[in-house]
């Protein structure tokens, strides 16, 4: 079927409210891997590791653009400093023309009615660890995905890596069971298959042939339960019940454990307090929040619940949203996030240097050098420093310290989206001398 090309439109949206590149790469959804990258990863195993971490439901179709088959259309997005640009491509059919509800879809899918800036301010005030990450990772918000697609995607995530999940969900599930929507920019797009499309005779065997392994039974069984044993709209209806009831209802499905249930609750059922605890979150809880000792020495069921309760107490009812920021910051795929263009407004460098020089040079430097602008140079008394005569060096150690009381930095966040595109964001960060001393002691 030939797609009906759409024109580019735009929505006013600050980068602090949505950083498109980060949100679409942080593992909330699973995008199709472009054929060019599939060929490239076969050639270079070393680079394949990095490419695999960047796999999601969304496809990086062109530099700076992201494309996905979503709700009966092929949707392409791009972003600049002040706007989110979008284009929808609908399939041409003999039926009545499609109602273009793309704006409503985008606002719903990205939860744009929630003010993320205010949430960041609240979380940063409550948690110093969050504040440190927020400076570099602004605009991380939770998607509001289709519950059925989200459920199946995370069933596939069991004991799996992102690359294989993406191949299963898109390259195999969508291609073999989902309706074809058309082509855009040289790529073919299929919508996600319905529960009815995954419950027929022979589906489990077909899924096994496609490489789903033991997950094939989970998918076909859960599809049958949702399509035949639950009322129509049951899964979407879990958005209207409380978190505990929704979580317990999901646990009744095949292949769904506590973490998968929490992922679905958080990413598609409006349960912002759900905190999925996986390897990354467990490591964060140990490193930054005191877990890993005593009764929480290992990640047991009780520890899983304790971590979630701790974050809910710390961050409030949107703890799942806050946790996703730390989760994203912990991913190696985001090692390319840089802070550049630092602008100084006050005294801003704390420097400690150690020089081993002769006594004569000490006298010369004391006569020659004065305090640098914006700070004090503090020199230790040479008499208080041990000689190093045993090594044949006659001299003393002189420590120069530039004393800084306060630092204010204007930071520019740059996220690479490929070789030819990037997104930038300016933020403010205030650092005190005490903060820097603490950081240095931890090193």
**Cα separations in angstroms, 333 against 47, 127, 170, 264:** 12, 24, 21, 23
**Considering 71, 180, 217, 259, which one is annotated as catalytic?**
259
CA gap 405, 94 in Å, rounded: 71
> 186 in the Ramachandran plot: left (φ > 0), alpha (ψ -120 to 50) or beta?
left
Report the 10 Å Cβ neighbour count for 299: 19
CB 38 within 8 A of CB 52: no
Gyration radius from the chain CA atoms: 27
Q: Is 443 exposed, middle or buried (0-12, 13-18, 19+ CB in 10 A)?
A: exposed
**What secondary structure does DSSP assign to 377-404, as a single string?**
EE---GGGS--BGGGTB--EEEEEEE--
CB 204 within 8 A of CB 161: no
The DSSP element (H or E) to which 90 belongs, if any, is strand 83-91
Please indicate whether residue 389 is annotated as part of the active site: no
CA gap 99, 229 in Å, rounded: 32
CA gap 224, 346 in Å, rounded: 64
Query: Of 57, 304, 21, 72, whose CA–CA distance to 181 is shortest?
Result: 72
CB 400 within 8 A of CB 378: yes
**Cα separations in angstroms, 238 against 5, 23, 116, 146, 212:** 35, 24, 24, 12, 27
Show the tokens assigned to 160.
Answer: 């799996």
CA gap 97, 88 in Å, rounded: 14
CB 3 within 8 A of CB 184: yes
Specify the pairing of strand 338-344 against strand 406-416: antiparallel
CA gap 23, 279 in Å, rounded: 19
CA gap 28, 265 in Å, rounded: 12
- DSSP 3-state assignment of 82? coil
Show the tokens assigned to 241.
Answer: 């019940």
Query: Of 201, 17, 187, 34, whose CA–CA distance to 115 is shortest?
Result: 17
Report the 10 Å Cβ neighbour count for 125: 10
Q: Write out the catalytic residue numbers.
A: 259
């Amino acid at each position: 079927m030939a797609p009906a090309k759409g024109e580019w439109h735009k929505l006013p949206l600050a980068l602090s409210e949505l950083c498109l590149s980060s949100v679409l790469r942080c593992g909330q959804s699973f995008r199709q891997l472009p054929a060019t990258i599939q060929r490239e990863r076969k050639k270079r195993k070393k680079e394949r590791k990095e490419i695999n971490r960047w796999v999601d439901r969304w496809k990086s179709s062109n530099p700076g653009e992201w494309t996905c088959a979503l709700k009966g259309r092929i949707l392409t997005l791009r972003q600049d400093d002040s706007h989110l640009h979008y284009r929808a491509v609908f399939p041409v059919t003999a039926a009545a023309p499609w109602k273009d509800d793309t704006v409503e879809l985008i606002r719903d899918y990205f939860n744009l009615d929630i003010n993320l800036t205010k949430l960041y301010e609240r979380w940063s005030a409550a948690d110093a660890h969050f504040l440190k990450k927020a400076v570099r990772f602004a605009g991380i918000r939770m998607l509001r995905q289709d519950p059925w697609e989200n459920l199946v995607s995370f069933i596939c995530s069991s004991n799996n890596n992102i690359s294989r999940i993406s191949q299963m969900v898109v390259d195999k599930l969508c291609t073999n069971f989902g309706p074809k929507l058309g082509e855009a920019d040289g790529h073919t797009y299929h919508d996600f298959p319905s529960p009815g499309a995954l419950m027929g005779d022979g589906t489990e065997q077909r899924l096994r042939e496609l490489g789903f392994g033991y997950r094939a039974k989970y998918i076909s069984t859960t599809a049958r339960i949702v399509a035949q044993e639950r009322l129509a709209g049951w899964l979407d209806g879990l958005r209207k019940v409380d978190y505990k009831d929704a979580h317990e209802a999901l646990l009744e499905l095949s292949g769904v454990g506590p973490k998968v249930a929490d992922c679905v609750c958080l990413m598609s059922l409006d349960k912002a307090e759900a905190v999925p605890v996986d390897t990354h979150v467990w490591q964060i809880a140990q490193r930054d929040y005191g877990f890993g000792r005593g009764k929480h020495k290992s990640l047991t069921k009780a520890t899983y619940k304790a971590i979630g309760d701790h974050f809910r107490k710390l961050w409030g009812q949107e703890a799942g949203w806050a946790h996703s920021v730390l989760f994203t910051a912990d991913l190696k795929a985001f090692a390319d996030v840089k802070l550049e263009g630092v602008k100084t407004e006050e005294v801003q460098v704390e420097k400690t240097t150690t020089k081993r020089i002769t006594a004569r040079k000490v006298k010369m430097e004391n006569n020659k050098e004065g305090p640098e602008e914006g700070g004090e140079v503090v020199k230790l008394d040479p008499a208080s420093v041990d000689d190093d005569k045993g090594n044949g060096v006659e001299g003393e150690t002189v420590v120069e310290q530039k004393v800084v009381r306060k630092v204010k930095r204007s930071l520019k966040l740059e996220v690479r989206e490929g070789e030819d595109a990037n997104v930038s964001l300016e933020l403010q960060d205030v650092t005190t001398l005490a903060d820097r001393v603490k950081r240095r002691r931890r090193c």
